[in-house]
Structure 1
Amino acid sequence: MPQQTFSTWKAGVIPRPRQFPAIAAFLGVSEEDVAEMAREAAETSPSITPITVARTYGKISDRKAGKFKFEPINDGRKRIPEGRYAIIIDTKVMEPVFHVGVKVWLDPSRWPTVGDDVLAHSGGFAWIGRFEGMSNGSVQLVRYDGSQLEVKNVEAVHVIVLSERVVTA
């Protein structure tokens, strides 16, 4: 049991106080040390939010360009979401993969690789496309409609990690 509890802790689950004695015995440290480690882990661990409850940000500003506008968030300080978030597709440039009206979820912590569907953020706007590369602060995107785009002065590139396949609204 202590090995399993310790392995679960290493996987990101913070143990309950009733598990401290077994963990302390397994590690050969005091229960107070385990309690301190658990407290530190709870304070420094990122909160895990189920992706399907992520907030929806951005709204389409140019359907033909696949361009979304992001209003200032966090009391107007920043226009780029920091945690997982969602957008509603309202452009046809990514069809047949993303249809108008579907919701897609993005994860800013994932680094894009060639072929990923992404949003490239620049100056309060973001362009949707398939990631083709990045150089000198610019990102090259390709759309499923065949168009290509280079977004300059990119501040962030967020990867689409989940999407609806059927319009629900």
Structure 2
Amino acid sequence: MNRPKRTRLTQMLLNEQNRRGMTESELGAKYGFSQQAFSSWKAGVVPRPKMYAALAEFLQISVDQMSELADEAKASTGTTKLPNIGAPLMGRGSSESIIVEQFAVGFAAPNVSNCYAVRVDGHHLWVDPRITPLPGNTVLIRTKDHAALATWPISVQEDQEVHVVTLAELA
């Protein structure tokens, strides 16, 4: 598992907590934030602006300095939100024959009512079964455990579904 990158803000929070010898819940009660929020900030999540004043008081710095630390942390981590793990990977193969998995890789159960991905010839394709195909769309003609790429319109059998490719990695 990858450890989050330590920012100056994260390091300052850890150092100040150790210096004071207080638990996360004690700090939260004293400064007005939750134990979970403080724990997430120590793990690298960037605090929201409404918490800058409380954190500045805790760190004994100005709110402007706290804002600069948060901006620096945001720039080094890229976001203040948890990462999106993307669409579930449901299949792999070549453009002529794609094997569709029963369960999505990395997910507890498949949910093909929403967008999912397949790996074709080494590239990811994002597929959405909710979109009605238009002439010229690249589509995935899918049965229970197999699929193939085609260009719409194409004749489809009763046991097949048509899912539109919405995004594809370039070669």
* Bigger relative contact order, structure 1 or 2 (CA pairs below 8 A, ≥6 apart): 1
TM-score, normalized by the shorter chain, greater than 0.5: no
Larger relative helix fraction: 2
**TM-score, with structure 1 as normaliser:** 0.42
